[in-house]
Amino acid sequence: MDHIVMSEMRFHGHVGVFPEEKENGQIFIVSCDMAFDKIPGAVTDKLEDTVDYAVVYDVIKQEVTTSRCDLIEHLAYEIAGKVLEVSDLIKNVEITVSKPEAPVNGNFKTMLTKITRERGE
């Protein structure tokens, strides 16, 4: 199986349960691991035979920056569905959404969720 991984993209979004999260927003870090049976572009060296990660980046950015959902779990699920729509070559996708400024009273690096979706789910 082949993979394209887009790691630790940073976006400002307004996802969260609390009113101040919706109003002020915060940074979200998103990683996207797309799995393929085989990427034809690995052999042909042609962009049209793979997934253009600039397109995927824009899809993810749009979802994070416009969503007003409560949970990062839901955000990750929505992103996964949108990424699968980019190309039929993608067999499954794992989306990680990290919230380093989560409103939790404690010492931590980040709170995150991982959602995996397969084509046809």
Catalytic (active site) residue 22 = no
Q: Catalytic residue, from 82, 99, 109, 114: name it.
A: 99
Residue 15 is encoded by which pair of tokens?
A: 């996802």
Measured CA to CA in angstroms, residue 119 lies from 11, 24, 60, 90 at distances of 26, 35, 18, 8
Dist CA 110 CA 41 (whole Å): 35
Nearest to 76 by CA among 44, 37, 28, 43: 28
Which residue numbers are catalytic? 99
